[in-house]
Structure 1
Amino acid sequence: MNTGILTSFIIGGLLLLSMIHLNNQALQNSTDVTLDLHNKTQIETIRKIIKQDFNRIGFGKNSKIKSFNPPHFINFSADVYGDGTSEVIWHFKKSVQVKETSNPDDRVLQRNGPVDKTGGSKPTKFRVVDFSITGFSDTEGENETTDKEKIKSLRINIVYESPESISSSGDYSKTVWQKLIVPNNLQL
């Protein structure tokens, strides 16, 4: 057999294998970037609603925190959309698994309250891995309290993971958001 032809086949085979490997890496990176963008879009939606709601605590007639059961429940009144005081409830249902995704850690975060200026209350469900609320009796987030009358600031933590695995080993793309919210009207 001709050694030139054999060498050409070996070199061609190695080049083909390296091109296939490079293509697979590019596809995996593309998938990772797409899932990361999706995660950030989902967490941004939740973040906007939380900031809208929590910054308005204490705004409006008879607005106040009605019930606070950290780390997964808060019920308050607020003039969220400037059309009158409404009741808003945020509740992380740690024991309720989301069945629509393959992620076994997905749980239900439910918000009950107005969704726009037309009034009325509607439940809105989000899919998150973890959600927690911590109350503080100061604006710096240093003195933790569970007394709803003493709350001056709230720290919100959300962990969101992709709904589908990014690898065959069952890894999920993760995004974490944390914010200390200091509602102006709780400072009075």
Structure 2
Amino acid sequence: MSLRALVPWCLALLPPLAQAQAASAPAPGWNDVAPILVGRCAKCHVNGGLMGPAPEGYLLVSHADALSATDRARVVPGNPAASELIRRVKGQSLPRMPFDGPPWLSAEEIDLLERWIAQGARDANGQPQPVPVGARVRLQGHLGADGRLDGLPLMSGGRMRVDKAPQPGDRVEVRGSLDAQGQVLVERLRRR
């Protein structure tokens, strides 16, 4: 077989090889994302940070702090789209973070954070974390014609309160809680 005939065959193998390598890559853990969160976010999200007390009491200096659902969940293991942390660094929830941006986090940094959450928000030992079932959430974004929030499926939490008649395309705020699969059970939906 000539070299000319081998080149297309070799090139055809590259995408499957790249996918196989990505699939076999270890799931990111706290040690992988801590440099981003501590380096870029903990300037403010620490006791005695640039803004004094941590904004909304949310600390980002340890794995336990980042996953704390004391007042509400900001990281939903297994569901980055329902995680306020991701929505803030992408600018879906306002204000966009880091608050002193731009520069914002790079696409690679955001991708790493999303993969970390999607694969269970693993701790430093590589252990995936459980969904904080029943934890409160507060998310912002744009309501789609399909009733999703920026593509995130929303589930009715039973009695759902709707304020200010939101329409598709409107910027909205969703308040609710998490079910066992990390889905958002909406209790309140309002136009912002």
Per the TM superposition, whether the score is higher than 0.5 is: no
Considering fraction of residues, name the structure with more strand: 1
Give the structure with higher Rg (CA): 1
TM superposition score category, shorter chain reference: under 0.3
TM value normalised by structure 1: 0.27
TM value normalised by structure 2: 0.26
